[in-house]
Amino acid sequence: MFESVKARRNPVGVEFIKRGLLTEVQVDRVLEYQKDHKDLKFGEIVDILDMCDKKQLLETLAYKMQVTPVMLDGDLDVNPVNYLPRDVIINYKVLPFDLEGNKLKVAFCDPQNATKVREIELLLMNQGYDMEVYLTLYTSIMRQISNIRTVTTSYVDKEEKDITKLIDNIIVTAMQKRASDIHIEPMENKVRVRYRIDGELITVTELPKDRQDIITGRIKSISGMHQEIVYDQDGSITTYDDYSIRVSSQKNVYGEKFVLRLLKKNVDKKNLFELGFFEDKELVEKSFDKRNSVIVVCAPTGEGKTTTLYSVLEYLDRPEINIISIENPVERRLPGINQVEIGNNVTFVSALRTVLRQDPDIILVGEVRDEETAKTVIEAGQTGHLVLTTIHTIDAIEAITRLRKMDVSNYDISATLVTSISQRLVRRLCNKCKRPHKLTEDELKYIDKVTRRTGVKFDLENAELFEPVGCEYCDNIGYYERIGVFEVLCFDEYLKDMISDGKSTIDIRKYALENTEYKPLIVDGINKVLQGHTTIDEIRRKLTI
């Protein structure tokens, strides 16, 4: 049989062909795949692409490497993170799986990498273990990593001695608790660790001040920061399968503070209505089904603007439409949508100018933050495209003021801006433990005040109100996840004329309240309370009348 040139150049591939496990074409395919994935070995690619029987694959690799094979499909007899940090397990593709006396059995994907094997051996020797090397499959290690047991007692074990395990425990526990951010803050006599869960910062532990330097060193190490630099830095941690972690450091008077933003890669998709948007199909179509225009979502940082835009894109997505997004960073992969990430040499403006040559129908621009981006977005909306973007403002109407301050003309705003949406996220009552609630006199006065300010009367007779209790499911908080509170302003011709004539936002707001379907955020907030989703306390905390 004639072997292709590529196959003949790869001795492992030749062995697979001899055993009848792969064809020459398949071997060539593996080698082509390897060009774009240089960090993966031949056998790992065969494993990932599931090109032959797993057991025979392992036997063949073991024969070539002369290493004892082991299949790791079931539960392990030991917890691997008791011996090696999680990031080391992932980066080195290594897994402790059994212990006999002081002999620790360790499986590698690539036991021929002498440097990595030696480093793992030294790590374990320092803990008093002898290492016995085995070979296993890449997918087996990845599967086991996702099942690794971690410490789950009372958030974080303050007495954890191994700094690598401590930092890993802080991060993994934050993931388990659904935290969006981790704050590690040096203070005068301690290091405070806080999680932001459903928008609220919760102190979870305080660490000894004398451990501050090694905590700082460890975080810098795993996030790719410079150890010797003490001024502001940005980094990232990529060793957790389901998360991309952005790390920011800033020097304060007591040392370096770190904030770790946890971005889940495969977050459960939610449509607009599940996010809390008005269940009004006519309003949704009126708000988003547009052409030659700009739609903005307005809110402060951390209030779910990007998630809303993702849901809008999925609502608008059809096979005949070309959708391109420009983001910093890309927080979630969207099937069927072309996503561009801003980097060192790519700005929103430069990316947008290139995107306009890519024949787009719909463009998502992650954020309008300066004059140049604002004007480019407006130009895109005037040339046959629907542009979705976000602006940091307090409500939907103030988007007009923000664009004016960015030196966008009144004519351009009125000609392109068709929908402005503002939103906030409030904590959603835990469905496992919430209990019926009767409005107090103080709460009734608050709702009456909202009615007098907005002119909206609420149906209190048919309301289903609840209050938080707290249970194991919600960590005894009483709330679980968040729900959006929205206001929508669709610009009619009269509103456009008002903008073009330079009318103030006070006049624009007065007209919108009296002549359009626009209702302030507080109205949807009260309705979410009366529907049993949240509480008056949450609305008071997040919204103003």
- Give the mean model confidence (pLDDT) for residues 287-308: 91
- Give the mean model confidence (pLDDT) for residues 175-186: 94
pLDDT at 367 over 60: yes
pLDDT at 125 over 80: yes
- Give the mean model confidence (pLDDT) for residues 14-23: 88
Q: Tell me what pLDDT residue 31 has.
A: 87
The rounded distance, in Å, linking the Cα atoms of 326 and 400 is 22
- Give the mean model confidence (pLDDT) for residues 45-64: 88
**What is the edge-to-edge ordering of all strands in the sheet holding 94-100?**
94-100, 103-108, 130-135
Q: Per-residue pLDDT tens for 236-264?
A: 998 888 888 999 999 999 999 999 999 88
- Give the mean model confidence (pLDDT) for residues 107-119: 86
Closest residue by Cα to residue 145 from 60, 85, 186, 229: 85
The rounded distance, in Å, linking the Cα atoms of 427 and 481 is 6
Classified as helix, coil or strand, 244 is strand
**Is residue 512 a contact partner of residue 492, using CB atoms and an 8 Å limit?**
no
**Is residue 132 a contact partner of residue 105, using CB atoms and an 8 Å limit?**
yes
Closest residue by Cα to residue 305 from 154, 142, 424: 424
Please give the helix or strand (H or E) that residue 139 lies within, else none: helix 138-146
- Give the mean model confidence (pLDDT) for residues 410-422: 96
Please give the helix or strand (H or E) that residue 418 lies within, else none: strand 417-429
Confidence class for position 1, pLDDT limits 50, 70, 90: very low
The rounded distance, in Å, linking the Cα atoms of 273 and 283 is 12
Q: Per-residue pLDDT tens for 143-156?
A: 787 666 443 334 45
Q: Tell me what pLDDT residue 269 has.
A: 74
Percent of the chain with pLDDT strictly greater than 90? 54
**Is residue 135 a contact partner of residue 58, using CB atoms and an 8 Å limit?**
yes
Fold classification of 80-146 (topology level): GMP Synthetase; Chain A, domain 3 (3.30.300)
The rounded distance, in Å, linking the Cα atoms of 194 and 189 is 16
Confidence class for position 183, pLDDT limits 50, 70, 90: very high
Q: 309 versus 227: which is more confidently predicted?
A: 309
357 is written with which tokens?
A: 């040559």
Q: Tell me what pLDDT residue 13 has.
A: 84
CATH: 3.90.550.10, 1.10.10.60, 3.40.50.300, 3.30.2420.10. Which one for 272-542? 3.40.50.300
Closest residue by Cα to residue 198 from 427, 424, 433: 427
Classified as helix, coil or strand, 52 is coil
Q: Where are the domains of the chain?
A: 5-64, 80-146, 163-264, 272-542
Long-range contacts of 242-249 (CB under 8 A, 24+ apart): 242/146, 242/175, 242/266, 243/175, 244/329, 245/171, 246/329, 247/219, 247/223, 249/219, 249/220, 249/225
Confidence class for position 329, pLDDT limits 50, 70, 90: confident
Q: Tell me what pLDDT residue 148 has.
A: 61
Largest Cα span, the chain: 89
- Give the mean model confidence (pLDDT) for residues 480-488: 96
Percent of the chain with pLDDT strictly greater than 70? 95
- Give the mean model confidence (pLDDT) for residues 2-7: 48
Q: Tell me what pLDDT residue 158 has.
A: 45
Q: DSSP character for 432?
A: T
Class of domain 163-264 as given by CATH: alpha beta
Among 74-83, 102-111, 180-189, 369-378, the range scoring the smallest mean pLDDT is: 74-83
Confidence class for position 123, pLDDT limits 50, 70, 90: confident
The rounded distance, in Å, linking the Cα atoms of 407 and 9 is 62
- Give the mean model confidence (pLDDT) for residues 232-238: 90
Confidence class for position 89, pLDDT limits 50, 70, 90: confident
Long-range contacts of 328-331 (CB under 8 A, 24+ apart): 328/366, 328/367, 329/244, 329/246, 329/263, 331/263, 331/306
- Give the mean model confidence (pLDDT) for residues 340-368: 90
Q: Which residue has the tokens 């990430």?
A: 341
What is the rounded average pLDDT for all residues in the chain?
Answer: 88
Confidence class for position 2, pLDDT limits 50, 70, 90: very low
- Give the mean model confidence (pLDDT) for residues 94-98: 91
- Give the mean model confidence (pLDDT) for residues 260-272: 84
Q: Which amino acid is at 40?
A: L
**What is the edge-to-edge ordering of all strands in the sheet holding 479-490?**
338-341, 323-327, 362-365, 386-391, 293-298, 417-429, 479-490
Classified as helix, coil or strand, 387 is strand
Q: Per-residue pLDDT tens for 501-540?
A: 999 999 999 999 999 999 999 999 999 999 999 999 999 9
Closest residue by Cα to residue 311 from 281, 272, 276: 272
Q: Per-residue pLDDT tens for 427-468?
A: 999 999 999 999 999 999 999 999 999 999 999 998 999 999
pLDDT at 88 over 50: yes
**Is residue 485 a contact partner of residue 424, using CB atoms and an 8 Å limit?**
yes
* DSSP symbols for 480-539: EEEEEEEEEEE--HHHHHHHHTT--HHHHHHHHHHHSS---HHHHHHHHHHTTSS-HHHH
